Chains A and B, each alone.
Chain A
Amino acid sequence: MPAPPRVMPYNDFVNPDDKALRAIDAAVAEVSRLSGPVTLEEAYLRAVERVEAMPDNQSGADKTWVWEAIERDRRHFARARRR
């Protein structure tokens, strides 16, 4: 029998009670159990270098849009109210 699909905890994050906070706590607890030095995988470092090499990540690139996007998100979530 094939293994069941991996279920992402999406519903935990959208449930309007405190499950979202518990999911975050669980993620932190899982990482907290790890110890010892962090080793970065070669594939990740190659991905980082590909991102660095992108034309819009060279000196002189205008990144104002990043801050505008973050500000839009902040304003959106600041207005959020629990029903």
Chain B
Amino acid sequence: MDPFSALTRALTESGARFVVIGAWGANYYAQAGSVVFETRDRDLFLPPDPGNLLRAWSACETVGFSLWAESDPLDIPRDRWLAEQIVERKALVRATDGRGLDVDLTLVMAGFDFETVWRERRTFVADGVEVPVARLRHIVESKAAAGRVKDRLFLATHAEALRDLLGREQ
């Protein structure tokens, strides 16, 4: 099983709530022969809930991922107080397997609150593991709201890919 599947399975088994967002999330909607997006990191959107964050951290460590805050290892002990500080600051924690797979545990999705995204999520299966994924519409609207250079590039490429895909189907 690939490390990302192992991680998502561990998260689900821990009871942590999360949804895959960003360009990686958009890949789940790819059709055969259409464009998929290579991205350096993968984004998981989590609710602003310290208890949920603790479950997520523990799941990451269980499958061998180390946790980082910016360029430093996440403080120890990884307890409720620390989780509350992270939630209060809406800080990003990165889980890495040390072999090139980086997974961002984010509490922020531009333009959206967690419950809206969670309520309308799709649950796909990859490698035998159920993966909660944000609606494609939420992903692209969030990219537009963020408006960074990489988001604009994504939207331009994605729009062209959909035009090609739907044009071929007609």
> Using Cβ atoms and an 8 Å threshold, which residues of chain B touch A52?
29, 135-137
Main secondary structure of the interface of A (DSSP, over half): helix
> Using Cβ atoms and an 8 Å threshold, which residues of chain A touch B124?
59-63
Is A1's CB within 8 Å of the partner chain B?
no
State in angstroms the CA–CA spacing of A66 and B106 once bound together.
24
Q: When the two chains form their complex, are residues A49 and B125 in contact, meaning their CB atoms are under 8 A apart?
A: no
A–B pairs, 8, beta carbons within 8 Å:
A31-B156, A41-B159, A44-B159, A48-B136, A51-B29, A59-B123, A66-B30, A67-B2
How many residues on B have C-beta within 8 angstroms of the other chain's C-beta atoms?
A: 37
> Using Cβ atoms and an 8 Å threshold, which residues of chain B touch A65?
32
Minimum CB–CB distance for A72 against chain B, Å: 11
Is B166's CB within 8 Å of the partner chain A?
yes
Is B126's CB within 8 Å of the partner chain A?
yes
Top 7 A-B residue pairs of the complex, sorted by shortest distance between their CB atoms: A38-B144, A47-B162, A59-B123, A63-B124, A62-B125, A31-B152, A44-B159
* Closest residue of B by beta carbon distance from A34: B152
Q: When the two chains form their complex, are residues B141 and A40 in contact, meaning their CB atoms are under 8 A apart?
A: yes
Is B65's CB within 8 Å of the partner chain A?
no
